[in-house]
Amino acid sequence: MKIGIVCPYSLDAHGGVQVHVMDLAAELRRRGHLVEVLAPASEDAGLPEGVTSAGEAIAIPYNGSVARLNFGAVVARRARKWLEAGDFDLLHIHEPITPSVGILALQAATCPVVGTFHAAMDRSVAREILSPAVEPLLERITARIAVSEEARRTLVQYHGGDAVVIPNGVNVAPFAQAPHDDPRFVGTPEEPTIAFLGRLDEPRKGLQVLAAAVPAVLQAVPGARFLVAGRGQAEGHRTDLSRFGDSVVFLGGVSDEDKAALLASASCYVAPQTGGESFGIVLVEAMAAGTAVIASDLTSFSDVLGAGRYGALFRNEDSQDLARTIIETLTDTAAADARRAAAREVVGRYDWATVTDAVLDVYDMALSTAHTRVSIAPGSRTIVGRLRDALEE
């Protein structure tokens, strides 16, 4: 099958959607499919074979983070040229109504389209305003996927319809096979290690919540060490936590190999994110690595952790409750080991081999029902129609 995959976010930046797109493309190619990817990227980014740049992106604050998107007439022409050259049997667009190259590819597509929706949010004024405008475009999507129940809820809430829930995929083996005794990260009962991974300067990643829990944890477990990995300055947190000396270590950005070793060797992994999370890939990675997982009780995190069966949950943005949960995880090892064992039993459902099987089922459904797709009338004077007309001038 000839498959085109469109990513709305720039490949110059690391992000869950970008990783999802590239890993799915790799697994589909491994199975013998011909796959091309279109995404925003710098012209000199040194993109791998099978990936085409849709042009430079601009950074836009969105959903508590920064999205790097691209749009406009030049991007639309690139998308049409890529579609014509690819002559795809099926087009798979991620976040198809985000104002980036994906929405332009959706407008120009003539083959069946599968859309994957990643975003999860409680309230979005922008979506409420734009929902009527994007409705004609949504009708062009033959089949919809949501990466979690929260992403599905967001889609249904703002745009109606429904979607098949297929979780984000993870390459389980590198985490399951990672060394559990890396001397840089390994914890012991007397000197346990607590790992954090995330952008240090994005408040929704929750470093401030973890930082406020540090004093209570060190008072109860004096030998504990906090290993903070991730890019970003966060000078305020560094300065505040420097008073704990070697008990808090900032690792900076880590390689994929070091991330796996960190998760496998640490006594526990903490995900203190405060919102804007539709899934939680790193939770699955930690589960696969065999570490004890602690996470805020966001609905998306609770879903992954089986409402506490596969990892411990604490009240969102409550540093005192986080400290209590960390201390219990480090001291009540029998309960923590039971959650870890349960996690190992279910983590395979997120492996790319399983996830791709489900995605291919949706592809088959889209191809078999493609004749039912609805096209926007050429003379449409909706916002989408006017946008299309302007781009084609």
Helices and strands, number each (H, E), in the chain:
15, 15
Task: Tell me the pLDDT tens digit for each residue of 274-302.
Answer: 988 888 899 999 999 999 999 999 999 99
pLDDT of residue 127: 59
At 371 the pLDDT is 56
pLDDT at 226: 98
pLDDT of residue 385: 46
pLDDT at position 391, please? 46
Side-chain-facing half-sphere of 3: CA atoms under 13 Å? 25
Are residues 329 and 192 in contact, defined by beta-carbon separation less than 8 angstroms? no
Output 128 or 9, whichever has higher pLDDT. 9
Provide the Cα torsion 259, 265, 266, 269; round to 10°.
50
Contact in structure between 134 and 112 (CB atoms under 8 Å) = no
DSSP string, 242-274: GGGGGGEEEEES--HHHHHHHHHHSSEEEE---
Q: What stretch of H or E contains 101?
A: helix 101-108
pLDDT at 153 over 80: yes
Q: At 133, is the pLDDT very low, low, confident or very high (cuts 50, 70, 90)?
A: low
Higher pLDDT pick, 104 / 238: 104
Least confident of 8-12, 130-134, 199-203: 130-134
pLDDT of residue 235 exceeding 70, the answer is yes
CA 279 and chain centroid, separation: 7
Q: Which domains does the chain have, with CATH numbers?
A: 2-169+351-392 (3.40.50.2000), 172-349 (3.40.50.2000)
Q: Give all strands (DSSP E) within the chain, no chain letters.
A: 2-6, 34-39, 51-53, 58-62, 65-69, 90-94, 113-117, 143-146, 164-165, 193-197, 225-229, 248-252, 268-271, 292-296, 312-314
Q: What is the maximum span of the chain, computed from C-alpha positions, in angstroms?
A: 72
Confidence band of 388 (pLDDT split at 50, 70, 90)? very low
Question: Residue 375: its pLDDT value, please?
Answer: 38
Closest by CA position to 350, among listed 300, 269, 295, 281: 281
Question: Would the pLDDT of 148 be above 60?
Answer: yes
The two structure tokens encoding residue 153: 């809820």
Alpha-carbon span 62 to 224, nearest angstrom: 36
pLDDT band of 122, cuts 50, 70, 90: low
CB atoms within 10 A of CB 251: 17
